[in-house]
Amino acid sequence: MTTNRTATRAPRPAGQWKVDGTAPLNANEAWKQADGGLSVRERIEQVYSRDGFDSITDDDLHGRFRWWGLYTQRKPGIDGGRTAQLEPHELEDRYFMLRVRIDGGALTTEQLRVVAEISTEFGRDTADITDRQNIQLHWVEVEDVPEIWRRLEAVGLQTTEACGDVPRVVLGSPVAGVAKDELIDPSPMIEEITRRYIGIPELANLPRKFKTALTGHPSQDVVHEINDVAFVALKHPELGIGFDLWVGGGLSANPRLGERLGAFVRPDQVPDVWHGVVQIFRDYGYRRLRNKARLKFLLADWGPARFREVLETEYLGHALADGPPAPRPVVPGDHVGVHEQADGRFYIGAAPYVGRVSGTILQGVADLAERHGSSRVRLTPHQKLLVLDIPADAVDDVVTGLRVLGLEADPSPWRRSTIACTGIEYCKLAIVETKETATRTVDELERRLGDLGRLRPITLHVNGCPNSCARVQTADIGLKGQLVTDEDGNQSPGFQVHLGGGLASTERGEAGMGRTVRGLKVTADGLSDYVERVVRRYEADAEADEPFAAWAQRADEEALR
């Protein structure tokens, strides 16, 4: 008589340092342990800037350079159909994208002027405001990097850990310390986190990137639901002003919204709690597979209760108070337009086209602000720019001056609510062009839909690949770049469409992902036609005051095509 036995196979190690040990389980983990990303700065300064691009080793070029904000940019002329077919060295140019880290989006006009000068002198006058409050420059050569660092650091800026498997830039409220309705100024907490923890070896080898958001404004203006850790200000009924703690958000190809831990964090506790969450990611995050190496996967397995328990017992050494959720936002969080500050002066929020500016434009903003007594500028997670501290009698002049520079403080709903990632122009991962496509679409929609005078802003997010740097799953209309088949049967740049997503806002109490409709794809050339069609259908079918996202989630599929 034979007996069938099912062998119990031990689970493969996931690379959790506190569970499986620290032995590297893939090549990426091996080189990070052998020589950490921070170490490459000395080689850039002493060797690569002297001997040129061809002297750079592969591990440094495709790995450690990221720890200092450097990626090779895409070689011009390679179409999107070849993105997945070519190796990195075949896609890349001999020039770099350089990301300037701007924690909290806060810049002095002196700092802005230095960034502008670097752009015009070393980056062919390129500059993009990202949806992570950074500024990205392009066409940078390795020979110039040490001088660029010298100039940035002379005014208190850095590129340290702007990319890589590290704590990335800390998103902060763009109106921190100035807004009349602010609950608390988070700037001291952001400064303490960056001072204590950015650029230290202990946190310079995480499983993958780690994103942070921190706001003291009731508009919840830092897209907190899609960050690895976020602190959202609220007034506790017994404990006063503090923060609601969120963890485990992230988009990309496997999107997941963050979750509340139900914990109330006092302002003085924020840096230590942040440090605890990062250490959990470092020690328990999954390292074996890169596509599972984000904090959201650990939270999905553990759940909020266990995550909070580990945070309190293993990393903080004390319990956090329980707390309620922050109230729903009652004002928009993009800060576009003219707004009175707490001190009686004004801040002015202006929209470029999808974050695309230039060194020349940034220089002009610095000059304009200083002519009217301002020395402070802020960037937003919505690819917008704010000028602070403008006297009442100078507001009109600044609004006009910004418009001359191509920055609109009274934009159309489309210009206000459209963002786009870098796209195929510079990004090696991209499949389609984004910035010019989005700009052209904005102009077309302004012309075509100008008769819809009551149209509230509809967010339009344009992304060049599935990685969702432009947050396509959380837009009213999210567009994920891919090749699509046009009416003639030819492969053409286009987009998969996501509809009805969004983050917490004046129109929705909770974040939600957009829906996809089977087979719904649009070509880049047909994008304006599609958006006009679906928006006019919304205007015809929507119930009174029904937001686009709510309509798109309930509408029949035919109405969305």
**515 lies in some domain:** yes
Give the residue numbers spanning the domain of 464.
416-560
- Residue 8: what pLDDT? 63
Q: What is the band of 234 on the pLDDT scale with cuts at 50, 70, 90?
A: very high
**What region does 286 belong to: left with phi over 0, alpha with psi -120 to 50, or beta?**
beta
- Residue 58 contacts by C-beta under 8 Å, 6 or more apart in sequence? none
- Is residue 543 situated within a structural domain? yes
Write out pLDDT tens, residues 2-37: 445 555 677 899 999 999 999 999 999 999 999 999
Residue 60 is assigned to a structural domain of this protein: no
Give the DSSP H/E element, type plus range, for residue 144.
none
Residue 2 falls within a domain, yes or no? Answer: no
φ, ψ (nearest 5 deg) of residue 401: -65, -40
- CA 33 to centroid of chain Cα atoms: 27
pLDDT in tens, 114-172: 999 999 999 999 999 999 999 999 999 999 999 999 999 999 999 999 999 999 999 99
Give the per-residue pLDDT at 453.
Answer: 67
- Whether residue 125 is contained in a domain is answered as no
DSSP H helices in 285-343: 295-302, 304-310
Q: Return the CATH number at 537.
A: 3.30.413.10
| Centroid of chain to Cα 397 | 31
Using 50, 70 and 90 to split pLDDT, how confident is the model at 450? confident
The domain tally of the chain equals 1
Is 196 within a domain? no
Question: What pLDDT is attached to residue 452?
Answer: 78
Average pLDDT, the chain: 96
Tokens matching residue 172: 């902060």
In 3D, which of 248, 223, 254 has the Cα closest to residue 466? 254
pLDDT-based confidence at residue 204 (cuts at 50, 70, 90):
very high
Q: Which residues, listed in sequence order, are joined to residue 100 by a DSSP beta bridge?
A: 135
Average pLDDT over residues 298-306: 98
- In the block, which residue shows the tokens 């319990």? 319
pLDDT in tens, 500-550: 999 999 989 899 999 999 999 999 999 999 999 999 999 999 998 899 999
Whether residue 451 is contained in a domain is answered as yes
Calculate the alpha carbon distances from 434 to 95, 419, 439, 478 in Å.
Answer: 20, 9, 8, 12
Q: How many CB atoms neighbour CB 291 within 10 A?
A: 11
Token code pair at residue 228: 């690895």
Contact (CB, 8 A) for 502 and 520: no
Residues 207, 29: Cα–Cα separation, whole Å: 8
Residue 140 lies in a domain: no
Burial class (CB in 10 A: 0-12, 13-18, 19+), 539: middle
Q: Would you say the C-alpha torsion 14, 20, 25, 31 has a positive or negative sign? A: positive
Among 149, 152, 180, smallest CA distance to 44 is for 149
- The band of 46, judged by pLDDT with boundaries at 50, 70 and 90, is very high
Question: Would you place residue 456 in the very low, low, confident or very high pLDDT band (cuts 50, 70, 90)?
Answer: confident
Q: For position 7, what pLDDT does the model report?
A: 55
Distances in whole angstroms, Cα of residue 98 to Cα of each of 141, 149, 426, 536? 10, 11, 11, 41
pLDDT tens digits for range 61-100: 999 999 999 999 999 999 999 999 999 889 999 999 999 9
